[in-house]
Amino acid sequence: METNWTNIAEELNYSVKNYEGLTKQIVQIKNRAQAYGIDPDHEELINGKYNKAGKMTMQGLKSLKGVAERKIGRVLADFPIWSEWLVNVPGIGNAIGGKLISIYYFKSVPICTKCGADLVDFTCPRCDATAKGNGVLKFRIALRDFPTISSWWHFMGRHTVGGVVPTLKNIKKLKPNPGDEKLVDWSPAGKQLGYAFADSVNRIKHSKYNQYAEKRKRYRENTHPKASKGHRHNMAWNETFKLFLSHFWQVDHILSGAEMTDPWCVAHGGHDKSSIIEPYYFDSAKDEAA
């Protein structure tokens, strides 16, 4: 990791949020245009304005979104996991890669505006100042650490609570009386990223992750014959995203030289190490030798 990782983290987060903001604006304008009976394909705010010679005379939001995505790509060049692996994975473009790397490596910790100490439940343990109702919070960038693949899955919302994969919709049913405890201990943004991953990779039929998802769909036809096609589709892509996340964790640990722990299924579930699927699109032997 670069020594100025704090500046890189802030630049990456800023670039990703700009991209997401433009994407949200495009969706809102499309929905608004359809509500007013206007063809979104003819909306200049989205697609830009062209003269009779076909030259763009006004940039649209799609063009600006492309600029934002390319800026993410320039920041990602500082991360070995991008240049050595993710850039080669079909369907993982700058937007998904940037969001994923930002979530995995960095977290924003709220700090006290008076003394700079880390806040605990919006209260400073050092000077007892409270941040509630005082406007915009200040943050410091800190590194995340996921010692196991399971902890990484959990943070991305791919664990189970009461035998059910949690969502923001069902979390209140799973925790009807949360009290003062934190309602969720996983990342809703990470959860949403799984859907973006499935939507993007599902379009690329030659992708090894797409092929894995198709195998899981056929497997779930046998294990859950009464489930709907959509339910089996979601189960298969949840399993595929978990495989991808495990590969992300493995590649990061190989590149950084960090300790490699066995997955839960091997350490506690009785599975043999031969059942571990090595990261697709990554030559671990070559990188370990390097």
Minimal CA–CA distance to 95: which of 213, 211, 192? 192
Residues 162 and 97 in one domain: no
The pLDDT of residue 1 is above 80: no
Cβ–Cβ under 8 Å, residues 19 and 95: yes
User: Would you say residue 233 lies in a domain?
Assistant: yes
Residues 35 and 166 in one domain: no
User: pTM for the whole thing?
Assistant: 0.85
The pLDDT of residue 275 is above 70: yes
Average pLDDT over residues 34-56: 91
Residues 98 and 171 in one domain: no
* Rounded Cα gap, residues 240 and 246, in angstroms: 10
pLDDT of 171 reads 63
- The residue among 118, 144, 170 that closes a domain is 144
Residues 35 and 96 in one domain: yes
When pLDDT is cut at 50, 70 and 90, the band that residue 118 belongs to is confident
Residues 17 and 98 in one domain: yes
Residues 228 and 165 in one domain: yes
Q: What is the 3-state secondary structure (H, E, C) of the chain?
A: CCCCHHHHHHHHHHHHHHHHHHHHHHHHHHHHHHHCCCCHHHCHHHHCEECCCCCEEECCHHHHHHHHHHHHHHHHCCCHHHHHCHHHCCCCCHHHHHHHHHHHHEEEEEECCCCCCECECCECCCCCCECCCCCCCEEEEEECCCCCHHHHHHHCCCCCECCECCCCCCHHHHCCCCCCCCCCCCCHHHHHHHHHHHHHHCCCCCCHHHHHHHHHHHHHHHHCCCCCHHHHHHHHHHHHHHHHHHHHHHHHHHHHCCCCCCCHHHHCCCCCHHHCCCCCCCCHHHHHHC
User: Would you say residue 129 lies in a domain?
Assistant: no
Residues 180 and 233 in one domain: yes
The region of weakest confidence among 8-17, 67-76, 118-127, 155-164 is: 118-127
The pLDDT of residue 178 is above 50: no
The structural domain count of the chain equals: 2
Residues 152 and 279 in one domain: yes
Average pLDDT over residues 46-58: 89
Residues 164 and 68 in one domain: no
When pLDDT is cut at 50, 70 and 90, the band that residue 109 belongs to is confident
User: Would you say residue 62 lies in a domain?
Assistant: yes
User: Would you say residue 124 lies in a domain?
Assistant: no
Minimal CA–CA distance to 246: which of 55, 104, 107, 79? 104
User: Would you say residue 118 lies in a domain?
Assistant: no
Of 83 and 128, the one with more pLDDT: 83
The pLDDT of residue 133 is above 60: no
User: Would you say residue 48 lies in a domain?
Assistant: yes
**Residue 43, domain extent:** 1-105+139-144
* Rounded Cα gap, residues 150 and 263, in angstroms: 7
Residues 60 and 150 in one domain: no
- The residue among 127, 144, 161 that closes a domain is 144
Residues 68 and 178 in one domain: no
User: Would you say residue 112 lies in a domain?
Assistant: no
User: Would you say residue 194 lies in a domain?
Assistant: yes
The pLDDT of residue 52 is above 90: no
Residues 184 and 287 in one domain: yes
User: What are the C-alpha distances in Å from 85 to residues 4, 30, 184, 266, 280?
Assistant: 22, 35, 31, 25, 9
pLDDT of 12 reads 95
- The residue among 89, 114, 144 that closes a domain is 144
Minimal CA–CA distance to 139: which of 151, 131, 148, 129? 131
